[in-house]
Amino acid sequence: MKISDIIGDLEGQASGPLYQKLHRALRQAIVDKRLAADDALPAERDIATDINVSRITVRKAIQALVDEGLVSRRHGAGTFITARVEKSFSKLSSFTEDMAARGWLARSAWLRRSEGTVTPEESLVLGLSPGSSVYRFHRIRYADDQPMAVETSTVPAYCLPSKEAVGSSLYEALEASGHRPVRALQRLRAVLFDDSQCELLGVEPGAPGLLIERRGFLPDGRSVELTQSWYRGDMYDFVAELNAGAA
Ligand code: GLP
């Protein structure tokens, strides 16, 4: 791949230091998908020779893309355009299904799997009487080997035969016991990860993320899940389809 074929002439760019022009041109190429997810960038010295700038200029431009999360350095392998997962908001899908749709294998690393009594807050949100049993699942979610999210779910105990019934997918286990949610309310907001979340997800301290809270319902209106998912901000893209005038 020749970067000069992809970004054209840097002189046509707005004013500013050369590395900023290169940074903007590369970013535009990523946004326009002329550089696609998982493409490897050529080596710094090859880019420098190709477009006739210094290696320092190339290095600074690439570092700016790394800082924005648009490319990532894989040790010993090179620099790659970051793959983002496009997530549709209209479908009530599971993490496992979202990843499979992109050809990735979802897996979970268990942080905690426990049985307990509903907390006062869960009792109100899930509509469960005080003293009801719940299962709690705390997991790191991976797409292939890439950590994507940290997730905490609370499920009324009557919805599953046991807490061990959940293998890699909560929704598969709920479906098998006839308790998969058919409707959900979801809230999304931007957050900054705390230190332990950064460590679990392998991102820089203070990295931005997306907190998605989902409350899932059974066909009869009972609540079946309360989940908080902290997604890596550099890995997720949310797409919503909007229709004008639908009553
Ligand atoms: C997404 C949702 C969660 C849901 C999970 C189930 O991450 N935000 O609310 O619990 O999918 O995924 P899986 O069936 O892969 O465990």
Find the CATH number of the domain harbouring 8. 1.10.10.10
Let me know if residue 35 belongs to a domain: yes
* Residues 115 and 212 placed together within one structural domain of the fold: yes
pLDDT at 43 over 90: yes
Q: Is 148 exposed, middle or buried (0-12, 13-18, 19+ CB in 10 A)?
A: buried
Tell me, yes or no, whether 170 and 114 share the same domain.
Answer: yes
Say if 245 falls within a structural domain. no
Domain assignment of residue 185, yes or no: yes
Total count of domains within the chain = 2
Domain-terminating residue out of 30, 46, 81:
81
Give the model's confidence band at 244: pLDDT under 50 very low, under 70 low, under 90 confident, else very high. Answer: confident
Q: What is the pLDDT of residue 187?
A: 92
Q: Which atom of ligand 1 is nearest to the CA of 184?
A: 9
Residue 211 located in a structural domain: yes
The pLDDT value given to residue 98: 85
- For the Cβ of 87 lying below 6 angstroms from any atom of ligand 1, the answer is no
Residues 89 and 7 in one domain: no
Q: Is residue 166 part of a domain?
A: yes
Whether residue 182 sits in one domain with residue 71: no
How many angstroms is it from 233 CA to the middle of ligand 1?
17
Same domain flag for 46 and 168: no
Ligand 1 proximity of 203 Cβ (cutoff 6 Å): no
Residue of 88, 163, 227 to mutate, ligand 1, most atoms within 8 A of C-beta: 227
Does one domain contain both 58 and 115?
Answer: no
- Which of 81, 109, 139 delimits the end of a domain? 81
On the question of pLDDT at 35 being above 80, the answer is: yes
Phi, psi of 193 (to 5 degrees): -70, 145
Alpha carbon of 228 to ligand 1 centroid (Å): 9
Position 247 pLDDT exceeds 70: no
Report pLDDT for 42: 94
22 within ligand 1 shell (Cβ under 6 A): no
Atom of ligand 1 nearest to the CA of 214: 9
- For residue 51, being part of any structural domain is answered with yes
Closest Cα partner for 188 from 228, 136, 234, 235? 228
> Range with the lowest mean pLDDT among 2-16, 129-143, 231-245?
231-245
**Which of 56, 81, 106 is the last residue before a domain boundary?**
81
Query: CATH number for the domain including 121?
Result: 3.40.1410.10
Is residue 74 located within the same domain as residue 128? Answer: no
- Residues of 156-188 as b/e, b for ≥16 C-beta within 10 angstroms? bbebbeebeebebbbbebbeeeebbbeeeeeee
Is residue 139 assigned to a domain? Answer: yes
Its domain, for residue 206, covers 85-239
Spatial distance between the Cα atoms of 82 and 16, rounded to a whole number of angstroms:
26
- Using pLDDT thresholds of 50, 70 and 90, give the confidence band for residue 170: very high
Please indicate, yes or no, whether residues 181 and 93 belong to a single structural domain of this protein.
yes
Locate the ligand 1 atom nearest the alpha carbon of residue 173 and give its number: 14
DSSP conformation letters of 157-204: GGGSS-GGG-SS-HHHHHHHTT---SEEEEEEEEEE--HHHHHHHT--
Average pLDDT over residues 105-112: 93
CA 171 to ligand 1 center in whole angstroms:
7
Do the domain assignments include residue 190?
yes
CA of 94 to the centre of ligand 1 (A): 4
Same domain for 117 and 202? Answer: yes
Same domain, 104 and 206: yes
- Rounded mean pLDDT of 184-210? 91
* Co-location of 23 and 46 in the same domain: yes
Same domain (yes/no): 232, 175: yes
pLDDT number for residue 46:
95
Q: How far is the CA of 145 from the centre of ligand 1 (A)?
A: 18
Q: Is residue 183 a contact partner of residue 92, using CB atoms and an 8 Å limit? A: yes
Which residue minimizes the CA distance to atom 4 of ligand 1?
Answer: 94
Taking all residues of the chain, what is their mean pLDDT, rounded to a whole number? 88
